[in-house]
Structure 1
Amino acid sequence: MTGVMAAVALLASPLPMSARQQAPSPPPWPCQDDDTHREFDFWIGTWDVFVSGRQAGVNVIEPMLGGCVLLENWTNARDRGGKSFNWIDRSTFAEPRWRQLWVDDGGNTLDYYDGHFADGAMRFRGHTFDAAGDSVPQKLTFHAVHPDTVRQVFEQSNDGGATWVVTFDGLYVKRR
């Protein structure tokens, strides 16, 4: 019994610094200084959103988790709302791509993936399901028009991607 207690005491005692393996500490906010994580920062802020000149709602976009996620907080003109998480997905594609998962207070969900920033716009692909359970292709594009203006366009295809119909075209104007 004495040998067992001595072994436990030896294991519990701190090892000298030279005997311990020191794992390198990760940077405190790895996403904060990564240029790819900054591509969608043009959407951060509090926005009045207009469709055809009429206010459709208010959207507040805020960074969280050290800049690794953008949280969307949408409230429409009828006081209904939804939220999305936007992040760089490193597990679905061979190359990291932006992803957006949306849920609203009616239980509707949208899954946008393969997001990439090019030519001043963040572009996503996605899908929903129709009443018959068939997948309906979607596109979501955020155009960085000006530091105080973003245009958001939702498109849907009812023929497998041969043609596209705009289902939402919103102009974001940043609040001061």
Structure 2
Amino acid sequence: MKIPVVALIAWLAACALSPAQTPTAKLPPPPALPPESAQFDFWIGEWEVTAKNGKVVGHSRIEKIANGWGLLENWESPGSPGKSINAWNPAKKCWQQFWVGSGGSVLELTGGLAADGNMVISGPSPGPAGRTTLNRITYTPNSDGTVRQHWEISTDDGASWNTAFDGLYHHRRS
């Protein structure tokens, strides 16, 4: 019995395009989250952010990502939106934040939960005239449900600190 070449080509193409009939291997369950991964949960939510004078300076949405292993910050402010990814790094036993702003600013900070319940992260960044600027950001969960973010910078190796940003996060009403 002769099979026409066209029929053979059609049969081979159909076999090549049909899904494989091999069973799908089950993936192992993801590792359990360490307790430290919940230390920054007080920052999760939809926020309106005000300056010390009460003026709204921006809005932020903080959400869990990557099966609870990280937090994504979506910061919206006129002229200076940005995003950060925050995660507990079990290998380094610290929190890490990677921030990128719309103007190309980048910060890489590390730290952790202090004894007083504040999250404190810090790290260097390029400063004016080629000098290093130290950054320290403290997140304070307040009893009224607000969160204070106090960002300080030092251009003298930590001998003195100046406030770069001091915002109060208020839960947005639906």
TM-score (norm 2): 0.78
- Which residue identity does 2:132 align to in structure 1? S
CA distance in 2, matches of 1:128, 1:155: 12
Residue of structure 1 aligned with 2:170, choices 157, 173, 176: 173
CA distance in 2, matches of 1:90, 1:127: 22
- Partners of 2:99 and 2:144 lie apart in 1 by 24
Asked if the contact 2:127–2:155 (Cα under 8 Å) also holds between the matched residues in 1, the reply is no
1:135 to 121, 132, 136: 132
Equivalent AA in structure 2 for residue 61 of structure 1: I
Matched, 1:149 2:151: no
> Per the alignment, in what secondary structure is the counterpart of residue 104 of structure 2?
coil
From 106, 109, 112, give the equivalent of 1:109: 106
- Root-mean-square deviation over aligned CA pairs: 1.9
Deviations 1:72-105 (A, max 9, x none): 00001x15410000001244x4xx1001010011
Distance 1:89 1:123 in 2: 15
| Partner Cα distance (2:155, 2:132) in 1 | 9
Unaligned runs of 5+ in 1: 1-23
Alignment partner of 1:56: what SS? strand
Q: Is the 8 A contact 2:131 2:155 kept in 1?
A: no
CA distance in 2, matches of 1:35, 1:147: 24
Give 3-state SS (helix, strand or coil) of 1:132's partner.
helix
Separation (CA, whole Å) in 1 of partners of 2:121 and 2:132: 16
Counterpart amino acid of residue 32 in structure 2: P
SS in structure 1 of the partner of residue 156 of structure 2 = coil
Larger Rg: 2
Query: Relative to total residues, which structure has the larger strand share, 1 or 2?
Result: 1
Report the alpha carbon displacement of residue 28 of structure 1 after superposing the two structures with TM.
3.2
C-alpha separation between the residues in 2 aligned to 1:147 and 1:40? 17
Matches within 5 A, 1:48-67: 48-52=48-52, 53-67=54-68
Distance in 2, matches of 1:40 and 1:170, equals 17
* Distance in 2 separating the partners of 1:84 and 1:67: 15
Q: 2:97 aligns with which of 96, 100, 116?
A: 100
When normalised by structure 1's length, the TM-score is 0.77
Change (3 A) 1:164 1:54: same
Contact 1:42 1:147 in 2 (8 A): no
Give the CA deviation at 1:126.
Answer: 1.2
**How far does residue 158 in structure 1 lie from its aligned partner after superposition?**
1.8
